[in-house]
Structure 1
Amino acid sequence: MPDLILHHARIYTQWPDHPWAEAIAIQKGRVIAVGDNDAILPLARPHTRRLHGQSRLALPAFTDAHIHLFNLARRRGQVALYDAASLEDLLARVRDHARHLLPDAWVLGYGWNESAWPERRFPTRHDLDAVTGGRPAVLWRTDLHAAVANSEALRRAGITPATHDPPSGVIDRDERGQPTGVLRELAINLVRRVIPPMTEAQAATNLRAVARDLHALGVVAAHDQRMKDNAEEGPGALRLYQRLAARGDLPLRVSCNLEAAHLDDLIELGIQSGFGNEWVRFGHVKLFADGSLGARTAWMLEPYENDPGNTGMFLTPPEEMAAIIQKAHRHGIAISIHAIGDRANRTVLDIFAETIAGGSDAPPLIPHRIEHVQTIQPQDQPRLARLGLTASMQPIHCTDDIPNTDRLWGARGRNTYPFRNLWDARTLLAFGSDAPVASPNPWWGIHAAVTRQRRDGTPSDGWYPNQRLTVQEAVWAYTLGPAAAIGQAHQQGRLAPGYLADLILLDRDIFTIPPHDLPHTRVLLTLLGGEPVHELITDH
């Protein structure tokens, strides 16, 4: 009999047999019935908790299909710089943060974006030296594809004028050949490797705090992504999630990716994509085709605007990409590959086409996927659906990146985040945030997908508005899309009998309000496995 009944709500089930309901009954973490109030309320027993929905809209809870969850937990307590309005503002925030640290503690931060600053330049080591009091410091740019380190951090990492650029990385230098402190792509790892690691206990504490924030936004599941050449992060994350799940203490459902360095180990152990349970599973092996727009390292078919010698760069040589993808496909392991530029996306699609055509005795049980698909030529857009690939996209990047896209890619912006074209081609869309690169707020993401506008209402007519989605389509891409992307559409992403009881109740009807109000949506109730993990309503 039901443990909980939510009644007198407007429940959008995404279940074709019963798309709308008034009440839902939950037992042992799963939905056992949906229907009208008269049909569901009589199922209650003395122990059943009854929650009055106050005629508010309920939806399946959201999945963030691209979030650096473990990385986000590790960054808890670092200085967030998303809102720094100038270089001077950034330095003031860093100075204030450093003042409260121990003398030898690392000053760590993330989220800065110079594109909207009056100076429009990256910080340098000299800038940071003036505000960090001799402590080592490194601040990641918002896209995590560039960072700036101060002189002490460079010293500890052994970076000198004689240090060569690592493969797929760049150490920026001034006119005298001295490192400026700016590190791009894999050069960041030279400093990252000397930062003291976080203990598992602290990581668990931080993860719970991150989960509380996500629950308040309506997010109960995550596809945890990896960073390039950070092979130790994935196993550490997977170990933590398993240990918490074994104690019944994991606060989110997690599909955990592993870096490509572990492919041979996975094959030898016979582990295939999808291995796990409803709480923790191994998802994909992560690869990187190229860099990012903001770091000017996305791999393009034509040069960047006003930079005729720069078409970006690949981070994994195409031959190596092909060998890894083909090996994984033969052994039941799905690939998740970062591709930003149009050349990167075309190259990746060519490799997947050749791989899939080559066949496999044990193909992956879940789809391969391309992460970001930021800019892709019109002739390449239908290929994702034809190849059965997931387009894992982040709508908030679409609008956050408008200034940089217009400045660095010009008219090629029309091929950037083509949500409508991909949806109409029947591509499997799975939406996420890329946090901590951007805010994990899915309501900001839905607003971006539906309006193609920034939250200040610009541009007034939307940015390439022909690529807008409807609210219903965007909700699908935060619920059933991510479920299908990890082979879980049979039990996640809709509210139907037998499905996991992951549900949210909202303070407004997102299907009828003006689109400019979407970012202000508040979640009143979040259920994870039928248990309230965020609650602003009372029993009635």
Structure 2
Amino acid sequence: MPSPLFSPDLIFFNGAIATQNSGQPFAQAVAVGNGRILAVGEDNDILKLAGAGTEKIDLDGRLVVPGFIDTHIHFYEWALNRQGLRLDDLTCIEDLASRLQQAAANQPTGRWIMGQGWNETDWTAPRMPTRDVLDKAAPDHPVLLWRCDLHLAAANSPALKLAGIDADTPDPPEGRIERDAAGNPTGILRELAINLARDAVAPPDSDQIMRAFADATGALHRRGVTGIVDVRLMNDKDGVSALQTFQKMDATGDLALRSWVSLPGEQLDAIIGLGLRTGFGGDRLRIGHVKYFSDGGMGARTAWMIDPFLDAECGMPLMDMDCLANDVDRADAAGLSVMIHAVGDRANRELIDLFENLESRRNRSGRPRPAISHRIEHVQMIRPEDADRLGRLHLALCVTPSNMVLDMNLIDAAVGEKGRWCYAFRRLLDTGAPVMFSSDCPVCDPAPLPAIHAAATRQRSDGTPQSGWHPEERITVAEALAAYTATPAKVHQANDLGVIAPGKKSDLVVLSENILEIEPSRISETRVDMTVFGGRIVHREI
């Protein structure tokens, strides 16, 4: 083994190193220095490299993996919303009302109360939190509470008034204001109707955003996440602020995440005019994909379906497919990659048609592909005959195992037996298309270990359902680990990430258990004991 030119800063030994490097899949020790992996091998060989200033860390059998990359996170929204009401642990609408009432008692009259995470399908009595419920709990504060999936929100009367929403307000394009029998808004806002209320909230200042970003970065490190793809919401007006904040943190050396920042599709003309390309950037900050939406979500019943929901119609497209195809073609010609949200089976079928037509035109014209693959986001419900078409296309797929846990009851109620086509991780991997994992945070907590547990067991953390939810779609823990590490690095042409090998960047995670050897059911009990970013320990429990 050749010796490095300088002594390592850190040596991890007496462990299991899962390198994601096919030439050396496993090792006992790894040496880190100057932000890079210096050597990987057996304990005796690596320990010989230690110098006077080297910190030697005895792993005591723990597993080391590459830093996790969350390939679909609404980082800007999550960072700011961490200060709002947490609503993901409620059991009934009375819990929501009680928590809101407590928050109102601690806030000055008239101040907005925001929150996110409620999921009525898991409550003891499923029921939407309409304005009447919210008004009783907080009559003197404007309230806006997002459902867990971000496709639906509940607003109270003061919030509706500030947003200018009343019986005469028309539904916005790609949005829906729910109304009672008399035509009055109930407070339930779907898709882009949410923006009417969101736009009434005063935006945070730059210092608030910087502090929120720093706090959220630490929270990701505690979960083992060292890389993210920050994704825009539909008709997002915060994209400029988000990118500016990432740039400020990168310029000052405070950005401690490998970050790809997506761009809003409605700004495509400006993006092309500026000459931006997906992948532009440096060591820590790069331009990501251009984001589009083809449909909504299951919970809001706005996912675009081939057949009607059991309790609703066929959902809705959120963009005209001809317009979307034109935008994708223009982006592709300009060297930009796109990412397109698709939840329903109709939306996924339409996108596969779109990308097949794009490839056909490319073959005729000889136009090169963008350097980084186009992506379909979520691929939540897809029919087998459409999934089989994916292997012939140059696409990356981004899925969210933790969202499956949230959606089990919802999907059973919404589509019944057709739920077997939802979150079809095994089928998607078998197509040969690269499959990446994500949290879709704040829809789900951004911790990768619960997501790996979900993908490998098709169960909740409590072991239900006992036989797994559509267990034929389970994947192995090794496949799930790759979907959080080597695969996203390869898709994004980040050739020095996602693998533990000499010369690669030293973004590492130390896990309390060897998840590749223990029973998958125990993965949810595993801890992140240490996170290393660029050779620096940023989270430590050992």
TM range (shorter): over 0.9
Aligned residue in 1 for 2:264? 259
Q: CA deviation at 1:457?
A: 1.4
CA distance in structure 1 between the aligned counterparts of 2:517 and 2:510, rounded to whole angstroms = 15
**Residue 533 in structure 1 maps to residue 535 in structure 2:** no
Asked if structure 2 preserves the Cα contact closer than 8 Å seen for 1:385 and 1:428, the reply is no
Write out per-residue CA displacement over residues 416-453 of structure 1, whole angstroms, 9 at most, x where no aligned residue. 11111111221201101111111112111011100111
Asked if structure 1 preserves the Cα contact closer than 8 Å seen for 2:250 and 2:285, the reply is yes
Write out per-residue CA displacement over residues 181-231 of structure 1, whole angstroms, 9 at most, x where no aligned residue. 11000000101111010111111111121122211111111111110011x
**Residue 206 in structure 1 maps to residue 212 in structure 2:** yes
CA distance in structure 2 between the aligned counterparts of 1:92 and 1:334, rounded to whole angstroms = 45
Asked if structure 2 preserves the Cα contact closer than 8 Å seen for 1:63 and 1:221, the reply is yes
Q: CA deviation at 1:399?
A: 2.3
Q: CA deviation at 1:132?
A: 1.5
Runs of 4+ deviating beyond 6 Å: none
CA distance in structure 1 between the aligned counterparts of 2:476 and 2:27, rounded to whole angstroms = 21
Q: CA deviation at 1:374?
A: 0.3
CA distance in structure 2 between the aligned counterparts of 1:278 and 1:101, rounded to whole angstroms = 42
CA distance in structure 2 between the aligned counterparts of 1:134 and 1:291, rounded to whole angstroms = 32
CA distance in structure 2 between the aligned counterparts of 1:357 and 1:43, rounded to whole angstroms = 54
Asked if structure 2 preserves the Cα contact closer than 8 Å seen for 1:331 and 1:363, the reply is no
Q: CA deviation at 1:46?
A: 1.5
CA distance in structure 1 between the aligned counterparts of 2:437 and 2:491, rounded to whole angstroms = 10
1:134-173 aligned at under 5 Å gives the runs 134-173=140-179
Paired residue for 1:340, among 340, 343, 347? Answer: 343
Aligned residue in 2 for 1:370? 376
One-letter code of the match for 1:470? T
Paired residue for 1:506, among 497, 508, 511? Answer: 511
CA distance in structure 1 between the aligned counterparts of 2:101 and 2:513, rounded to whole angstroms = 41
Write out per-residue CA displacement over residues 296-318 of structure 1, whole angstroms, 9 at most, x where no aligned residue. 010000011143xx100001111
1:110-259 aligned at under 5 Å gives the runs 110-230=116-236, 232-259=237-264
One-letter code of the match for 1:153? A
**Residue 385 in structure 1 maps to residue 391 in structure 2:** yes
Unmatched 5+ residue regions in structure 1?
none
1:306–1:126 distance in 2 versus 1, CA, 3 Å: closer
**Residue 302 in structure 1 maps to residue 295 in structure 2:** no
Aligned residue in 2 for 1:275? 280
CA distance in structure 2 between the aligned counterparts of 1:87 and 1:59, rounded to whole angstroms = 41
Aligned residue in 1 for 2:359? 356
1:119–1:419 distance in 2 versus 1, CA, 3 Å: same
Q: CA deviation at 1:484?
A: 2.0
Aligned residue in 1 for 2:460? 454
One-letter code of the match for 2:16? R
**Residue 293 in structure 1 maps to residue 298 in structure 2:** yes
Asked if structure 2 preserves the Cα contact closer than 8 Å seen for 1:331 and 1:362, the reply is no
Q: CA deviation at 1:511?
A: 1.5
Q: CA deviation at 1:93?
A: 0.7
1:307-326 aligned at under 5 Å gives the runs 307=312, 310-326=313-329
CA distance in structure 1 between the aligned counterparts of 2:108 and 2:436, rounded to whole angstroms = 42
1:324–1:50 distance in 2 versus 1, CA, 3 Å: same
How many residue pairs align between the two structures?
A: 533
Write out per-residue CA displacement over residues 39-95 of structure 1, whole angstroms, 9 at most, x where no aligned residue. 111222222222222221111111111111111011021001001110000010111
One-letter code of the match for 1:424? D
Paired residue for 1:329, among 303, 327, 332? Answer: 332
> Secondary structure of the equivalent of 1:43?
coil
> Secondary structure of the equivalent of 2:181?
coil
Write out per-residue CA displacement over residues 480-531 of structure 1, whole angstroms, 9 at most, x where no aligned residue. 121122221x111110011110111111111122222111110111100110
> Secondary structure of the equivalent of 1:148?
strand
Paired residue for 1:480, among 477, 482, 486? Answer: 486
Q: CA deviation at 1:133?
A: 3.9
One-letter code of the match for 1:268? G
Asked if structure 2 preserves the Cα contact closer than 8 Å seen for 1:298 and 1:311, the reply is yes
CA distance in structure 2 between the aligned counterparts of 1:135 and 1:426, rounded to whole angstroms = 51
CA distance in structure 2 between the aligned counterparts of 1:249 and 1:21, rounded to whole angstroms = 32
> Secondary structure of the equivalent of 1:127?
helix
Asked if structure 2 preserves the Cα contact closer than 8 Å seen for 1:335 and 1:368, the reply is yes
> Secondary structure of the equivalent of 1:24?
strand
Q: CA deviation at 1:122?
A: 0.8
Asked if structure 2 preserves the Cα contact closer than 8 Å seen for 1:384 and 1:390, the reply is no
Write out per-residue CA displacement over residues 103-126 of structure 1, whole angstroms, 9 at most, x where no aligned residue. 221010110111122331211111
Q: Bigger shift: 525-534 or 381-390?
A: 381-390
Q: Bigger shift: 93-102 or 79-88?
A: 93-102
1:71-86 aligned at under 5 Å gives the runs 71-86=77-92
Q: CA deviation at 1:240?
A: 0.5
CA distance in structure 1 between the aligned counterparts of 2:36 and 2:270, rounded to whole angstroms = 35
CA distance in structure 1 between the aligned counterparts of 2:391 and 2:158, rounded to whole angstroms = 49
Aligned residue in 1 for 2:3? none
Asked if structure 2 preserves the Cα contact closer than 8 Å seen for 1:67 and 1:223, the reply is yes
> Secondary structure of the equivalent of 1:401?
helix
Taking structure 2 as the reference length, the TM-score comes to: 0.97
One-letter code of the match for 1:282? I
CA distance in structure 2 between the aligned counterparts of 1:237 and 1:486, rounded to whole angstroms = 20
CA distance in structure 2 between the aligned counterparts of 1:101 and 1:482, rounded to whole angstroms = 42
> Secondary structure of the equivalent of 2:384?
coil
One-letter code of the match for 1:372? H
CA distance in structure 2 between the aligned counterparts of 1:526 and 1:264, rounded to whole angstroms = 40
Q: Bigger shift: 134-143 or 98-107?
A: 98-107
Write out per-residue CA displacement over residues 258-309 of structure 1, whole angstroms, 9 at most, x where no aligned residue. 11122111211211110012211111000000010000010000011143xx
Write out per-residue CA displacement over residues 343-363 of structure 1, whole angstroms, 9 at most, x where no aligned residue. 000001111111122126453
Unmatched 5+ residue regions in structure 2?
1-5
